Structure 1
Amino acid sequence: MLPYKWQIAYAIAALLFTATITLSIGQGVRLLIDQGIATASPDQLEHYVLLFLVMVVALALGTFTRYYWVSWLGERVVADIRERVFNHLIHLHPAFFEQNRSLEIQSRLTTDTTLLQSVVGSSLSMALRNLIMMVGGIIWLFITNPKLTGIVAIAVPLVIAPILIYGGKVRGLSRKSQDSIADVGAYVGEILSNIKIVQAYNHQGLDQTRFLSFVNSAFDIARQRNIQRGLMITLVIVLVLGAVGMMLWVGGIDVIEGRITGGELAAFVFYSVIVGSAVASISEVIGELQRAAGAAQRIVELLQSTSDITNPAHPTPLPTPIQGYIEIEDLTFTYPSRPNDPAIDHLSLNIAAGETLALVGPSGAGKSTLLDLLLRFADGNAGSIKLDGIDIKALDLAVLRNCFALVSQTPTLFYGSIAENIHYAKPDATSEEIIAAAKAAHAHEFIEQLPQGYDTRLGDGGIGLSGGQKQRIAIARAILADAPILLLDEATSALDAQSEHLVQQAVDKLMIGRTTLVIAHRLATVKNADRIAVLNHGKLEALGKHEELVEKNELYKRLAELQFKTQA
């Protein structure tokens, strides 16, 4: 909230104004009774009624001003928090999201921040307002009748006690409640994003049962939290109203015996109710603040998460133009979950500028891991990767990744138009450049046949397009990037024959003049490569052309027979 000092000042000024008016109403009530009603003077009564109404109008205007600025602060601060969390998350290394559920993180970014918005935009203001009302009310109580104030003074510590006792319990349960709500949201997101698989395997019944267990768990924790809050509020109400009742009895005796006037008793009752209500409201707000503290803790955890992949303090510039020469020297990498099983094991490999290198090997050989290491989605435990003679760890991350265009086996498309998905690789691209890239990827024809052409909106993940169409849009994006190095996680392996033919033509155009690493599952890709690297358990087992590897390497021969026989 600190950047918004003027807005805070406006809100506090309006809050002080409304609190002053509210406290002044007590004196208005006293004058109305003692100087208006008790004197039996219509003129006096009219005068004090009008004064009372003026105070009410002033209170209404002050309340509107306070509400506007406090709400503005709540919305603005939460927008800032969301921006800060998102800006932090988007730069964290990909492995962070493998270890932490993305949907649970999404819940923190939405549900938890919404709770904070409620606190900053409402509860905090209520707490401050009631604190002022309580202090002001107690002062007026002493001014009005010191003897009766003693009864209230005894009640206040009794009211604060349950707040302190139950506050800690509420906070702990609030944190658990937010975690359980996040689990509910994450499960819903996971099921709905895979709804076809759920329905294909008739899994709805089991998923309904599991979802019910998540919901019931969240309900049980929320019920425990509400019991603690309810007990706290119940004790406060009993103690406050009990003190008011005792005060009315003592004050009533004083009025009957003529020691105080009826107006003074009415004013005292008014201030007592103000103080009692303020204390009760503060106790309730403390419950809200305890709940928000749990949400804030979860958000702070995200902000304190550090990325394993960082920019060097003084990045080394790449020579221009970039050639695309890659040197991999004694590279070793292990995943944290499998420290004794290297995914890449002392791998050394040189890839010439403009060369096409096919990566072949059984599942788990380290092919996809190598592409991740080239992009610095992770860093090797030992050894190095050099681009044009410079260690990639010495390069600025943005500069490094600008050198690569990635086309994965499963194309990634975003919610939005086809044009937006293509120019994702180059945000300042012109319409002509987008169309040229689509034509090169053999995508222009089918895009033009769509109802809105390039403005056709896609669902999440490109819902509404076939696999071949999605892949050609992904290739158009890679063409538009115009990067010197191309990484292909075999872009045609999951397509039908016609789509594969079109996509292969697009890939062939994309590879011209670029250093290309391709994870190969197709015979055509392997045969067209300049060299083939056979990986097995993260090690380089063989390197050469298709014909010589069939003769010299048993693993490659077996892979060729199993993987390429049908295609051949």
Structure 2
Amino acid sequence: MSNRWQAVLKTAAFLKPYKSSMGFSLLALFLTAGITLSIGQGIRLLVDRGFATQSPELLAQYVLIFLMLVVLLAIGTFTRYYWVTWLGERVIADIRRKVFAHLIDLHPGFFETNRSLEIQSRLTADMTLLQSVVGSSISVALRNLIMLIGGVILLFITNVKLTIIVMLSIPLVIIPILLFGRRVRLLSRQSQDKVATVGAYVGEMLGQIKTVQAYNHQAVDKIHFNQYVEDAFLIARQRTLQRAWLIAVVIVLVFGAIGVMLWIGGMDVIEDKISGGELAAFIFYSIIVGSAAGSVSEVLGDLQRAAGAAERTMELLEEPCQIYSPANPCQLPVVTGNIVFQQICFAYPSRPEIQVINDFSLTVRLGETLALVGLSGAGKSTLFDLLLRFYDIQSGSIKLEGIDIRDLDLSDLRRSFALVSQNPALFHGSIEQNLRYAHPNATNAEIEAATKAAFIHDFILSLPQGYQTNLGDTGLGLSGGQKQRLAIARAILVDAPILLLDEATSALDSQSESWVQQAITRLSADRTTLVIAHRLSTVVTADRIALIHHGHLEALGTHAELMKSSDLYARLAMSRFQTSG
């Protein structure tokens, strides 16, 4: 079985919890199909016993029966539509939830090789397509399949000779479905990929709109976007053309056969071989069979597109997470901040040939502030990634309180750290919501104390809505220093035993730096702090400084010691450390 249809079966497994809803849907489906097919017999009786007998009483009786069938059909259609649509919405909500839950636990390395905006497209465009299929197309396909089978049976019951004429057209219908179906399926997958690329490009450009406009790159981006849109359009046009040919050929063949049948049947009525009611019923069933065959062929195109969407969705769900908690994690004792890097080596999965960290060993002392310095690309931020197990090292060990971090539960490990990155991560929502991200159950007093410690409280109160002020995406509208101080306040609120500060004061002016430096000094008093520093003021106040060069520990000591013992550090201190904002 192909991967695509395996994906379809896995998607169908999400229907299992809703067997009762499926039962209601199928019951209504069979009811409406049965009533529709019964209308043909009603037409036969209406013509033969109503019109032909010229009896007003019989005519009224059969018209009343016909109207009752119509009412039952309306009730059944309402029931079928509601439950099938509900089922589609419910299942897609479950799939979305499961995919997101899986994605948010995946290791960051996955997102190095997969564009997050394209993944976002899968959660929106592909899910919309799946919803329309589960909540509509499958029901339409099943209903028309029942109508097709039931119609053929009733055709044989009504008139065998005329039915044989109709049946001769069925192989002619199946052949184009097989020929065009494969082409439609391949083009559907390509179309979905192209649409995902369009969505990813839009998201990327709008997310970096200031950079786009600062470099006057709009004209170039418009050209690129137009090309992506045209590529998607060309594939969609090919897919549409194939589906249109499929539908047109089916209609010509099926209704052409009905036309031949009408001529032969009309001759039989003239010769009194069959009644007018039989011919009317036969015409009705022929139309039912023809339209059902056409609808099934059309829905097959939707199902093939949905199969592509299911395959892409299952690819996400089946993506293995390379970073996970062990089956039997070690119990983490009270964390005091003892960290040991022992001969670790690491290369990013996307660049396995480049050794970012090479035979690195370092012991971080309890309660000390250790500054990590070095040229750009030396591996400083990578050490933070490894400590938090965003990636696993290829050799060596990293120990926290004497336990290899790979033997710890991920939640316990990461709960031991408070991270402030160089580019603060702020989310769409209020300032309070962003602060509570670190500690959802924090009291208002705790939040206020944290913002005061980060020297951001007064600024927040100066805003019209205070702590309820909504931030734009990624904190749009705040200065770099304001974002950094909010991130520091959030880290303070975590109250973790180990602080990881990745150039936490790099975006601050001299005044803000002074405030935040004081806050960090107070905060670090009873904690182990690792700080990646580019400012001299940060470096000189550290208990020790680790000079990292090409993933190696080049030198270790205080500022004064390294100025004397390391030429590289001295040059770095003179040329690269910032002394002002």
Scaled by the length of structure 2, what TM-score is found? 0.96
Residue in structure 2 matched with residue 435 of structure 1 by the alignment = 448
1:2 aligns with 2:40: no
Residue in structure 2 matched with residue 152 of structure 1 by the alignment = 166
Q: Which of 174, 179, 183 is the equivalent residue of 1:165?
A: 179
| Mapped partners of 1:281, 1:499: distance in 2 | 68
Residue in structure 2 matched with residue 254 of structure 1 by the alignment = 268
1:503 aligns with 2:513: no
C-alpha contact (below 8 Å) 1:315/1:396 kept by paired residues: yes
- How do 1:159-198 and structure 2 match up within 5 A? 159-198=173-212
Residue in structure 2 matched with residue 79 of structure 1 by the alignment = 93
| Mapped partners of 1:509, 1:10: distance in 2 | 65
CA deviation after TM superposition for structure 1 residue 566, in Å: 4.8
- How do 1:448-463 and structure 2 match up within 5 A? 448-463=461-476
1:315-363 CA-to-partner distances (Å, cap 9, x unmatched) read 000112x111001100110123433331111011000111110001001
1:43 aligns with 2:57: yes
1:405-441 CA-to-partner distances (Å, cap 9, x unmatched) read 0001111100111111001111122222212211221
Residue in structure 1 matched with residue 316 of structure 2 by the alignment = 302
- How do 1:375-524 and structure 2 match up within 5 A? 375-524=388-537
C-alpha contact (below 8 Å) 1:475/1:506 kept by paired residues: no
Residue in structure 2 matched with residue 12 of structure 1 by the alignment = 26
Residue in structure 2 matched with residue 558 of structure 1 by the alignment = 571
Question: Given residue 477 of structure 1, which amino acid in structure 2 is its aligned partner?
Answer: R
After superposing the two structures, state which structure 1 stretch, 181-190 or 485-494, moved more.
485-494
CA deviation after TM superposition for structure 1 residue 567, in Å: 4.2
1:53 aligns with 2:90: no
Q: Which of 215, 218, 221 is the equivalent residue of 1:201?
A: 215
| Mapped partners of 1:294, 1:221: distance in 2 | 15
Q: Which of 57, 67, 70 is the equivalent residue of 2:81?
A: 67
Q: Which of 242, 245, 248 is the equivalent residue of 1:234?
A: 248
After superposing the two structures, state which structure 1 stretch, 77-86 or 423-432, moved more.
423-432
1:120 aligns with 2:125: no
- How do 1:299-338 and structure 2 match up within 5 A? 299-320=313-334, 322-338=335-351
Question: Given residue 85 of structure 1, which amino acid in structure 2 is its aligned partner?
Answer: V
Question: Given residue 83 of structure 2, which amino acid in structure 1 is its aligned partner?
Answer: W
Task: Give 3-state SS (helix, strand or coil) of 1:336's partner.
Answer: coil
| Mapped partners of 2:141, 2:352: distance in 1 | 52
| Mapped partners of 1:57, 1:253: distance in 2 | 35
Work out the percentage of aligned pairs sharing the same amino acid: 65
C-alpha contact (below 8 Å) 1:330/1:384 kept by paired residues: yes
CA deviation after TM superposition for structure 1 residue 464, in Å: 2.0
Question: Given residue 377 of structure 1, which amino acid in structure 2 is its aligned partner?
Answer: F
Question: Given residue 324 of structure 2, which amino acid in structure 1 is its aligned partner?
Answer: T
| Mapped partners of 1:565, 1:200: distance in 2 | 26
| Mapped partners of 1:314, 1:538: distance in 2 | 32
Question: Given residue 319 of structure 1, which amino acid in structure 2 is its aligned partner?
Answer: P
C-alpha contact (below 8 Å) 1:472/1:506 kept by paired residues: no
Task: Give 3-state SS (helix, strand or coil) of 2:437's partner.
Answer: helix
Residue in structure 2 matched with residue 135 of structure 1 by the alignment = 149
Q: Which runs of 5+ in 2 are unaligned?
A: 1-14
C-alpha contact (below 8 Å) 1:468/1:503 kept by paired residues: no
CA deviation after TM superposition for structure 1 residue 89, in Å: 0.4
Change (3 A) 1:439 1:461: same
Question: Given residue 312 of structure 1, which amino acid in structure 2 is its aligned partner?
Answer: P
Task: Give 3-state SS (helix, strand or coil) of 2:392's partner.
Answer: coil
CA deviation after TM superposition for structure 1 residue 117, in Å: 0.1
Question: Given residue 37 of structure 2, which amino acid in structure 1 is its aligned partner?
Answer: L
Q: Which of 539, 549, 559 is the equivalent residue of 1:536?
A: 549
C-alpha contact (below 8 Å) 1:484/1:515 kept by paired residues: yes
1:212-252 CA-to-partner distances (Å, cap 9, x unmatched) read 00000000101111111111111100100101001001100
| Mapped partners of 1:245, 1:295: distance in 2 | 39
CA deviation after TM superposition for structure 1 residue 292, in Å: 0.7
| Mapped partners of 2:577, 2:306: distance in 1 | 59
| Mapped partners of 1:339, 1:463: distance in 2 | 35
| Mapped partners of 1:253, 1:422: distance in 2 | 84
1:477-510 CA-to-partner distances (Å, cap 9, x unmatched) read 1011000000000111122222222222322232
C-alpha contact (below 8 Å) 1:492/1:503 kept by paired residues: yes
| Mapped partners of 1:230, 1:339: distance in 2 | 48
1:268 aligns with 2:266: no
CA deviation after TM superposition for structure 1 residue 565, in Å: 6.6
Post-superposition, which runs of at least 4 consecutive aligned residues in structure 1 deviate over 4 A?
A: 565-568
Question: Given residue 184 of structure 1, which amino acid in structure 2 is its aligned partner?
Answer: V
Question: Given residue 232 of structure 2, which amino acid in structure 1 is its aligned partner?
Answer: A
CA deviation after TM superposition for structure 1 residue 273, in Å: 0.4
Task: Give 3-state SS (helix, strand or coil) of 1:345's partner.
Answer: strand
Residue in structure 1 matched with residue 386 of structure 2 by the alignment = 373
| Mapped partners of 2:547, 2:276: distance in 1 | 99
| Mapped partners of 2:318, 2:56: distance in 1 | 68
Q: Which runs of 5+ in 1 are unaligned?
A: none
Question: Given residue 357 of structure 2, which amino acid in structure 1 is its aligned partner?
Answer: I
| Mapped partners of 2:172, 2:426: distance in 1 | 61
| Mapped partners of 1:281, 1:567: distance in 2 | 72
Residue in structure 2 matched with residue 95 of structure 1 by the alignment = 109
- How do 1:18-33 and structure 2 match up within 5 A? 18-33=32-47
**Count of aligned pairs:** 567
Task: Give 3-state SS (helix, strand or coil) of 2:216's partner.
Answer: coil
| Mapped partners of 1:345, 1:447: distance in 2 | 44
CA deviation after TM superposition for structure 1 residue 447, in Å: 0.9
| Mapped partners of 1:501, 1:323: distance in 2 | 27
After superposing the two structures, state which structure 1 stretch, 339-348 or 549-558, moved more.
339-348
C-alpha contact (below 8 Å) 2:537/2:579 kept by paired residues: no
After superposing the two structures, state which structure 1 stretch, 17-26 or 424-433, moved more.
424-433
Question: Given residue 179 of structure 2, which amino acid in structure 1 is its aligned partner?
Answer: I
| Mapped partners of 1:438, 1:497: distance in 2 | 19
CA RMSD of aligned residues (A): 1.1
Q: Which of 257, 263, 281 is the equivalent residue of 1:243?
A: 257
| Mapped partners of 2:521, 2:480: distance in 1 | 19
Task: Give 3-state SS (helix, strand or coil) of 1:437's partner.
Answer: helix
